[in-house]
Amino acid sequence: MKLKGAIVAMATPFREDGTIHKDTLRRMTDFVIERKVDGIFAASTVGEFVHLSARQRHELVALTAEYAAGRVPVLGGASDLSPARVIDHCREFKRAGAGCATIAPPYYYAMTQEDILAHYHQVAESIELPFVLYHIPQCSNRMTVETMLEAVRSCGPVALKNSNTDVLEMMALLEGLKTSGITYLVGPDELLFTGLELGAAGCMSGLAGTVPEAVRRLIDSYRAGDIDLARRIQFSLLELLKLVGDIPFPACVKLMLSARGFDMGPPVHAQSPATRERIERRKPEVTRKITSILQELGEPVIAT
C-alpha cells in the first residue's frame, strides 16, 4: 500500500444522544471522495477517537468503509494505551473492511523511547493490517527521530504521519526515510507546502476534509510545477487557520464543516458560554473565507 496525496483526517458527527450521525457521515464521505481525496482516516484525532467507546470506534470505521465502498482506502485510528487494545482495534478494522490502521504511541502515561518501540513491536507482530506510524507529540508520548526511524526499520509501517510542527524534525525524518520505501505524510495543515518542498508524499489532515478542493489543488499544482499557485493556496489556507485559531481543537474543524453545511451535532466535551458564543460569531466569517478561497480557485462554492 502506497499512501500519498490528500488523505482526510475525518471529523465525527454526533447526534444529541451521543451516537454517530450516520446520515451526516455518509454525506461527508461522499463529499470528500467526489472532490478527489486519496483516502479517509476515520477515528482520527480530529475525529475525537478518545471520546468513543471501543464499540463506537469500530462502528465508525465500519460505517466509513461501507460508505466509501472501495472508492478510496479507509484507515482506522487504532491508537490506544496498550498493545492488546491496539491489536483488538486492528482485528475489528480488518473485519470491517478498512485497508490500514493508524497507530500513535500510547498517551497519558509517560514512556521511555525503548518502551515505545516495544509497544510497536508487540503490535506489529500481531496484526494483519498495514499501519501508519503516527507521531503526534501534542497528544501522546513524543518519539525522537531515532525512535521513529528504528520503528520504520523494525516494525514495517507503510507510511509515517508526523503532526509535529518542527521543520528540522521533518527534514531529519525525510532524510532518514530516503531509502526506506515508505511515504511521509504531513499532519499540520500550515506545513503542507513546506513538506512537499522537502519531499513529503502528501498530507493526512483536517483541512483535507473541510476544504478538500483547495488541498487537492495545492498538491496537484505543486506536482505540476505551478509552485506559485501552490504557495498562494497555502497562504490562503493559513488565513483560514488563523481565523479559527482561538477556537479549541477539534471544535475549530467542526466549525469549518458546519460552515460548509454539515450538521456536526453537539460537542462531546463541555463548552463554556464564551466558547459557544465565539463559535457562533465566527461562523459567518469562516463561511466567507471558505467561499473566497473556492472562488479564487474557480471551484463551485456549493458545499454538499
CA dist 284 → 26, 261, 303 (Å): 25, 12, 14
pLDDT at 102: 98
What pLDDT, in 10s, does the model give residues 57-84? Answer: 999 999 999 999 999 999 999 999 999 9
Nearest-angstrom CA–CA distance, 165 and 176: 18
Residue with cell 459567518: 284
Superfamily name and number for 5-224: Aldolase class I (3.20.20.70)
pLDDT at 269: 85
Nearest C-alpha neighbor of 35 from the set 76, 71, 77: 71
DSSP states of the chain as a string? ----EEEEE----B-TTSSB-HHHHHHHHHHHHHTT-SEEEES-TTTTGGGS-HHHHHHHHHHHHHHHTTSS-EEEE---SSHHHHHHHHHHHHHHT-SEEEEPPP-SS---HHHHHHHHHHHHTT--S-EEEEE-TTTS----HHHHHHHHHHH--SEEEE----HHHHHHHHHHTTTT--EEEE--GGGHHHHHHHT--EEEESHHHHSHHHHHHHHHHHHTT-HHHHHHHHHHHHHHHHHTTTSPTTHHHHHHHHHTT----S-SS---HHHHHHHHHHHHHHHHHHHHHHHHTT------
pLDDT at 133: 98
pTM for the full model? 0.96
292-38-191-212 Cα dihedral, nearest 10 degrees: 10
CA dist 120 → 4, 128, 134, 207, 281 (Å): 22, 14, 11, 28, 44
What type of residue is 70?
G
The full set of domain ranges for the chain reads: 5-224
Asked whether 63 and 56 are in contact (CB, 8 A), the reply is no
What type of residue is 110?
A
Q: Which residues lie below 8 Å from residue 173, measured CB to CB, with a gap of 6+?
A: 145, 148, 149, 160, 162, 184
pLDDT at 300: 85
pLDDT at 302: 67
Which residues, in sequence order, are bridge partners of residue 5? 202
Enter the C-alpha cell of residue 115: 518502551
The tens-digit pLDDT sequence of the chain (304 residues) is 899 999 999 999 999 999 999 999 999 999 999 999 999 999 999 999 999 999 999 999 999 999 999 999 999 999 999 999 999 999 999 999 999 999 999 999 999 999 999 999 999 999 999 999 999 999 999 999 999 999 999 999 999 999 999 999 999 999 999 999 999 999 999 999 999 999 999 999 999 999 999 999 999 999 999 999 999 999 999 999 999 999 999 999 999 999 999 999 999 889 999 999 999 999 999 999 999 999 999 998 765 5
Nearest-angstrom CA–CA distance, 194 and 240: 17
255-261-264-267 Cα dihedral, nearest 10 degrees: 30
pLDDT at 303: 58
pLDDT at 301: 77
CA angle 19, 20, 21 (to 5 degrees): 115
> In which region does residue 161 sit, left (phi positive, over 0), alpha (psi from -120 to 50) or beta (all else)?
beta
